[in-house]
Structure 1
């Protein structure tokens, strides 16, 4: 089992001067500590216009800073928006290759197609085209990384033959992933030989179903790239504290705040019925984010599988994730600066000292 960290770079409102700067500085400090403690990967989303929820609109710049300040930590796009009206595929290939070079071959390349009408509409993108463009992206990127000259005529973008440089360090190219927010995307990943990068928290049963389907289908895949990336990662939340009650109070507030921000996003399906978006964003079946309660003011218990609690509680939760076949868990560490930075760092240290050894080779 590998453990990573996952950044949305959320910033509280009202936005004060320096808040965004502090959010980026905190994230870089967390990345440096993650590198020291043995976390595997730092993932960063790509979002646009989502004020407060995510101020991470240039992840390639942020991830380069992470790479330059760490030695072993892999850097991951979680993921690049594969829509030509937002990112041209040649520019995506060029930036990714440069990042792979600068990181010394530590790039993981996640792909996505955006879920909110705020983002798609802001760039004038037709939601009906995004699944097509994503499919074209994941097939053309490996060619741009490995072939001397490439030209392309497609349904959603075309370009004349050109030598696209630089080329990435990793052979044959960086591992390819697709972000998974709703049921069904794991099948798309498996059919193309891509890693399954969960970015919406799912409960044990739902994750087990998705993982089993993925493992079965990827055995018969037609790889989009030059290699198969058979890995399943899921997203979670982390606040580890010696006192389970304190952990639940502090981490629970962070978990609830992220859910509130997430629920206020304007998902494409809500305003633009299309077969390309079959569920309302992250509100997928079995999601741990789905909490029902008639009293909105009552403190809710931390849902199953969420890594908020004392080390013993978190070990038990992670062991279940391990049992359902998950290869990696990526943790959101904070939301809108709700948790003081020192407490976030202390949580990471305690998790590394008391939880991670249980999942190392020859663990406790």
Structure 2
């Protein structure tokens, strides 16, 4: 089981100088490999005041020297917002900066304000997404590209530098609906199931993903991942009590983003769900049992963890990571 660390947790305080938080994140990265983590990941949102969202490509490039031995994942870059030629070039750059440790995690995006700011909408995002992946793969081949799509047209184009990884950095695709898991099966190297769906829906989505892979003649081994929220403490009651406020805050934020769509599974943004129904919550033993069950029943082999009860003070945050390292990670299968 590979375990990722949501590095935005250490850079989301609008009231503190961001450069200080970046240095704290760098220190976390310097320790993360020895603590048992294998990936750091960074998300993307725009125009989201008052919440803080540092941009993923630049942040990962800054942290790459401190994250030696760790994979660097955009988790998740909102691909339809961007010109795919630019993202193809940025991915190649970060792939070389990291010596072949970069993973391009991508998703559709959903906020109307963001989509409009980038000149698109919910209606066109799927076709923009699919065209973008197709065009990027052509560019990464190192050959001259001529491409005429609905959204993107490129002629006599050839990148000056091929990716460090062959044939290209892995593409992990975010999914919270049947359509998204089918796209992930067809276009990506791994599906990343989001943090909001409940555990029952995670099982539904993984079954749908495996079915799509089977139709395509692809082996599901090494292809199923999830980003999940974690609330961990010495005992279950403390973990859940500490996490309730942050869980409600996140539900309110994503609710204000209009994240729930009629095509996605229930994301629980109304706040009615109990924490154990959708998060990794409890004592280290409780958390290990939840993750191991998802591995055994659903085939999960990568999990990224974002904290719901991370302490505010940096020394306490390091102790929190030590707890995960010593009492959770060794018990994952």
TM-score by length of 2: 0.89
Indicate yes or no: 2:286 matched with 1:321: no
Structure 2 Cα separation of the partners of residues 303 and 164 of structure 1:
47
- CA contact 1:183–1:210 (8 Å) conserved in 2: yes
What secondary structure is seen at the aligned counterpart in 1 of 2:44? Answer: coil
TM-score by length of 1: 0.82
* Distance change >3 Å, CA 352–CA 338, structure 1 → 2: closer
* Distance change >3 Å, CA 213–CA 127, structure 1 → 2: closer
Query: Partner residue of 1:25?
Result: 23
Indicate yes or no: 2:8 matched with 1:16: no
Structure 2 Cα separation of the partners of residues 3 and 332 of structure 1:
11
Query: 1:138 Cα shift?
Result: 1.3
Indicate yes or no: 2:213 matched with 1:218: yes
* Distance change >3 Å, CA 278–CA 92, structure 1 → 2: same
Query: Partner residue of 2:150?
Result: 155
Query: 1:334 Cα shift?
Result: 5.5
Structure 2: gaps of 5 or more residues: none
Structure 2 Cα separation of the partners of residues 29 and 251 of structure 1:
24
Query: 1:260 Cα shift?
Result: 2.0
Structure 1 Cα separation of the partners of residues 70 and 98 of structure 2:
9
1:189-238 Cα deviation digits (max 9, x unpaired): 11234411123332222111111221121133399xxx999511112122
Query: 1:289 Cα shift?
Result: 5.4
- CA contact 1:195–1:229 (8 Å) conserved in 2: no
Indicate yes or no: 2:92 matched with 1:93: no
What secondary structure is seen at the aligned counterpart in 1 of 2:277? Answer: coil
* Distance change >3 Å, CA 193–CA 60, structure 1 → 2: closer
Alignment map for 1:283-362 (pairs within 5 Å): 284-287=264-267, 291-292=271-272, 302-304=275-277, 306-323=279-296, 324-333=298-307, 339-360=312-333
Structure 1 Cα separation of the partners of residues 89 and 262 of structure 2:
32
Give the number of the structure with larger relative contact order, counting CA–CA contacts within 8 Å between residues 6 or more apart.
1
Alignment map for 1:198-209 (pairs within 5 Å): 198-209=193-204
Query: Partner residue of 2:102?
Result: 107
- CA contact 1:8–1:53 (8 Å) conserved in 2: no
Alignment RMSD, CA only? Answer: 2.7
- CA contact 2:178–2:208 (8 Å) conserved in 1: no
Structure 2 Cα separation of the partners of residues 53 and 222 of structure 1:
42
Query: Partner residue of 1:77?
Result: 74
* Distance change >3 Å, CA 60–CA 246, structure 1 → 2: same
- CA contact 2:142–2:162 (8 Å) conserved in 1: no
Structure 1 Cα separation of the partners of residues 35 and 199 of structure 2:
27
Indicate yes or no: 2:46 matched with 1:51: no
Query: Partner residue of 1:298?
Result: none
Structure 2 Cα separation of the partners of residues 238 and 113 of structure 1:
24
- CA contact 1:178–1:189 (8 Å) conserved in 2: yes
